[in-house]
Chains A and B, each alone.
Chain A
Amino acid sequence: MKATEFIVNALRKQGVTQVFGYPGGAIMPLYDALYDGGVAHLLARHEQGAIMAALGYARAGARVGVCIATSGPGATNLVTGLAEAMADSIPVVAFTGQVPSALIGVDTFQEVDILGMTLSCTKHSFLVEDQNDLDRIIAEAFTIATSGRPGPVLIDIPKDIQLAVMANETVSELAELPPLDGLVDEQVAAARALLHAAKKPVLYVGGGVGMANAVPELRELAAALDIPMVSTLKGIGSADPEHPYYLGMLGMHGLKAANLAVQESDLLIAVGARFDDRVTGKLDEFAPHAKVIHLDIDACEHNKLRVANVAITTDLKLILPALKMTLDIAPWRLHSLEMKVETAFRYDHPGIAIYAPLLLKQLSASLPEDHLVACDVGQHQMWTAQHMTFTQPENLLSSAGFGTMGFGLPAAVGAALARPDAMPVVVTGDGSIMMNIQELATINRAKLPVKIVLIDNQRLGMVRQWQTLFFDGRLSQTILDDNPDFVALAAACGIPGETVVVKEQVQPAMDRMLASKGAYFLHVQISEQENVWPLVPPGVNNGEMLERYDEC
């Protein structure tokens, strides 16, 4: 048995049924084994599309994403996806072909030191030196990708190793993960004491909740505490959006009530969150009166940016139930509710031009219950986080920590394969979609019913917004008024669509899109002057948000 046949068997043993990739010279032996190996392969049209699809597959379907690329440029095209997976803790195993062992280090055609290049954006990486190590390496790669805080693992395999014959053809049985340490009674007692004493506590929910599969535990805790809650971008969907004291996303483009509650709070319970700069604004003025309970599976996050009064490194499924109690915080609940009501978004936008926040609110209300939304990066991403409603974290796929333009379209491809019963939707912008536009051809090839909503302001909108606000309106390289004809571009890839330009066209067009059986491209033209509000400007605390009325 050749090593590549063994690799495919090992993937099947790991439960892998779908991989993503792009063939090339140094990975041809593995592609030969995939030809009839019993694992489905989706051909992207660029290696970055392949890895983003694997990430979408992993995040939407709560499993490991697997992607494959050849050596050299194939491997380097994966790098952005690996970094994305590192930033957002997404379990992915990437296989790269490498030039034959004897030719490594002599500048061979399509040779690059991908292991050296990706040390900083993988959780771990392997260069296979002996085919008989593959059994151990693949098992370790999947364990590393999924255990603790998930992340990307790279396996680089020289071509001669791929072609070599295995001494042992049997894939080892999967080892069970060692159990995590249990809770420490003193830490739990300390956290409970802080919680019990708090008058203005806030639950600060991050992406770790969904990754830990701890959404039920979080919601049970929130119900017991009846506590104001805020969410990071990746945490959206974890808290029940119907909970009366759920205040929405916090941070730079967070909801005003969420930011004000955190600034006023006397206790923050950070759950699977990491005090990211887009969350905290000016760090030393973030939640200035709050003590901190920090719950995370990764000890590296504790005391990194904000010193915690109690830091607990554990599985969230264990710790969250241990914090249930009744809180005596009626005035704080009432105050939070008043802030939520007083600062709620308004959608009475004047004029006939399409207002993206209203469109996204309409879209959210129109989607079938089983849906997922993949975003790109920029203004539309923030509007999606602010104005759409998500009931599960795996229903919103957004490049949060890394901010990778071009994520949305291929992520939706992978997500559509992970969750074939869910309606896959992409919300993207005219800047972002061009970063991986070639994946329209993948959607057509795989006949995936992806509904693409392109919010087009003929600008790199978020950068344009900052240029307007903070760079004296000098619009350097952000005007895209020569964009391609997007509907024609989609049509060229076999995807029907239409353009809407005024409010009254939106709902009928959206209905046509949602009723269509296959992929659909809804091109939405909006004013280039729309900004994302609120906004915490750089260098100030989250209590000093700019709002729409500050525009004039």
Chain B
Amino acid sequence: MASTFWQSTVGKKIVMGVTGLIMIGYLVVHMVANAKIFFGPEEFNAYGHWLRVMGAPVLHHEWGLWGARVILLTSVILHGVSAYQLSRRDIKARPEKYVHSKPRMSYATRTMRWGGVILGLFIVWHVLDLTTGTVHSGGFQEGHPYQNVVDTFSTWYGNVIYIVAMLAMGMHVRHGFWSAAQTLGAGNRTRDRAFKALANGLAIVLTVGFISVPVGVMTGVVS
């Protein structure tokens, strides 16, 4: 069963669709939680603390958090490995370009592969910056996420990296969400407008929602 999925181009695409939807679900929660930053350091830092005691008293300290991390990391790896293997195959299946060629696909569709690579690199930077603090600009303080976020978005490169990555994320979600609907067999003629609208809506809301944080810091709303 598992090998049927992994050996087939259709199966591998289904793996990408499911893991992609898991990550979109996470992004929605992450974006909504980010909005807490506009209500002051106490509320935001308390939320950061809650993530560690999530599921208590059933779950031990940080078990819920690590569970989520394992699911997300597995999703990112499966999504990336599938994309890499399918892309290699696609390039091999069309080795010769047309002499007379014209770009016809939408920008979001054409940038899925490189956009995905940019997002992968961004995730590494984002974790090293705000979770481990390894590449953090100011003095990284464990347990003070509010101050850490303000520090990151007080540097020009922090803002540039974040905003570029969020624009790439928006485009990736735009084609990715609609594609997942087709890959998982949910799309059809009558539902297509709804799926397209949902994909565009998700892309816009997520992009604007995430970018509002660095904009908030830049304009002094968050400081």
Indicate whether A and B interact.
no
